[in-house]
Structure 1
């Protein structure tokens, strides 16, 4: 900071530097403001002194503006931490790692992925909500932690006001999978078994309140059947449970294991048939009127500088052009989404209202467990 002191003589002036000064400003001010042949604390006389003071004050403001602009242009100045709010090896984890490889090349700094899983992604989001909004701590998760789970469970954060919704980069392609040796060849066969054996059929998912859980409960209500949900911290452990025979099926967050032959798809959670598995029916065409519209995205704490947000948006958008990202899309069968902050924020707000309406109509809830703002 720079402050003016009292005059040292008639029409004189003095510039005093406080302890926390901008590096280099003292030397620059000395060069700009000191009259030739005069000491720094001295001053000119009369009109000459006043002219020097005006010139110096103008120079000070120009220098400060230049330094402020330079500081803004330097983001990021250090590595960026991204909380992955789901378990290692799952779809969110592998997606943000693939995408961040390209983003860190654009930003010029390392992006460190740190696992903060649990609570269908809400544990990591709760931690993020308490971080500084400086752009150095972000999170990768899904819209589920904002528009679905808080409807059913009380959160410590406000879904629509505790975050900056930065960039949505992928759309979920999910469905119900069984082992290749499963006795169920079609979804209707599985529903028939559940009807005859209430509560006996088990399925896993990435967590309670996730769309993969909700859609099965919606179907259960409409079919008037009861099956048992076994929640996990992500798609990867949920699939492992199904492959190991610990549950009968998995409501999976991606189609990777169906595409590579490790599992068989009985039902797609998509609005329309999936082109890579065209023979598998969707929840919409079977008359359940519910589908998974989840997007994978990057979040920040509320109150981030729009200029920093744009830098992050640009970096992840460019990362979607890299071979690493395209390979991830091919492997998992997910789809690329390019939804920047303004559009994503609108999407989240509209989805909150729509999901609340749907769950009220289904009789799942009357009021949200968490206040949105």
Structure 2
């Protein structure tokens, strides 16, 4: 009898001892939430919805984008950090993820300890744009106008601590200008105020500026990256316009709460890579100035670990602070 009982235990042990494996086999069995810590309509939100649509089609469960803006993306990011690592919550965010730890001393999460990397999604060039009423066409014009009209030029951003904010602060530092920062809760409201003329300048993702450039609602001044864009073959970079050493760009990436099973991380990462490299999606994104950068989790880990100290050094050098 005792021998029979031992045999039964041995047979049942793989099942009883691996409930998470059973759960993973049926994943996803209900809708999955993708939290975007910025308002709808910005570049991060646009990319998140592209990915969510593809994941829904692949896995047969809804992947729902949940916009939770506030405090430069820290509100939504903190919500993901506190979520169970069960594969039913993900984060799609931007470069803010590696910037805000050096700006906000009181954030409630650790970007290295509280998250698991899933995949880098895209890289997005940043462009300097202006309201048509601003009498400048080039970087040199912008610098000269600011110096001759101190206090007249404001720049809008999606919030303190984002790449577009720091791009402008780096510009101020290198050009000795005094563009005044006006922070918004996301790119969309900042862009609305630029179009309305309530702010005069933005350092913005090409993805969200391009439609308004095409209609003439705003005008391009320069690109912040290291090279020109095929979308704007005659538009120079800031560095080539008289500020050598100036370079910034942005990215969008996907993360999961710490503790998410590696099997789920791998499934989602591989599917994201497939989705974003579909010819139709790749061509559409490239036509909007977006470069597909789907990566492995390890490659995204490397980006995060490299960028946190990079932005920290820049923030200290430029002297950026937030209230």
Gap regions ≥5 residues in structure 1: 1-48
> Per the alignment, do residues 274 and 327 of structure 1 end up closer, same or farther by CA in structure 2, a change over 3 Å counting?
closer
For the pair shown, the structure with the greater C-alpha radius of gyration is: 1
**1:360-371 alignment, distance < 5 Å:** 360-364=316-320
2:222 aligns with 267
> Per the alignment, do residues 306 and 284 of structure 1 end up closer, same or farther by CA in structure 2, a change over 3 Å counting?
farther
2:201 aligns with 249
**1:308-323 alignment, distance < 5 Å:** 308-322=264-278
Total equivalences in the alignment: 317
Range with greater deviation from structure 2 (345-354 or 275-284): 275-284
Q: Whole-Å Cα distance in 2 between the matches of residues 79 and 322 of structure 1?
A: 24
Name the structure, 1 or 2, with higher relative contact order (CA <8 Å, separation 6+): 2
Q: Whole-Å Cα distance in 2 between the matches of residues 230 and 281 of structure 1?
A: 26
Which residue among 145, 153, 157 is the counterpart of 2:109?
Answer: 157
**2:142 paired with 1:190:** yes
Q: Whole-Å Cα distance in 1 between the matches of residues 121 and 168 of structure 2?
A: 26
Q: Whole-Å Cα distance in 2 between the matches of residues 53 and 249 of structure 1?
A: 76
Assess if the C-alpha contact under 8 Å between 1:258 and 1:265 holds in 2: no
Q: C-alpha displacement at 1:79, in angstroms?
A: 0.7
Q: C-alpha displacement at 1:141, in angstroms?
A: 0.9
Structure with greater helix share of residues: 2
Assess if the C-alpha contact under 8 Å between 1:194 and 1:201 holds in 2: yes
| Counterpart secondary structure, 1:332 | coil
Deviations 1:315-369 (A, max 9, x none): 211211446633651453211111221110111011112222233344558xxx9
Q: Whole-Å Cα distance in 1 between the matches of residues 255 and 287 of structure 2?
A: 25
Deviations 1:136-182 (A, max 9, x none): 111211122x2212212222222322222211101011111123454
Give the structure-2-normalised TM-score: 0.89
Assess if the C-alpha contact under 8 Å between 1:99 and 1:324 holds in 2: no
| Counterpart secondary structure, 1:292 | coil
Q: Whole-Å Cα distance in 2 between the matches of residues 197 and 68 of structure 1?
A: 63
Give the structure-1-normalised TM-score: 0.78
Assess if the C-alpha contact under 8 Å between 2:169 and 2:320 holds in 1: no
| Counterpart secondary structure, 1:76 | coil
Q: Whole-Å Cα distance in 1 between the matches of residues 210 and 190 of structure 2?
A: 13
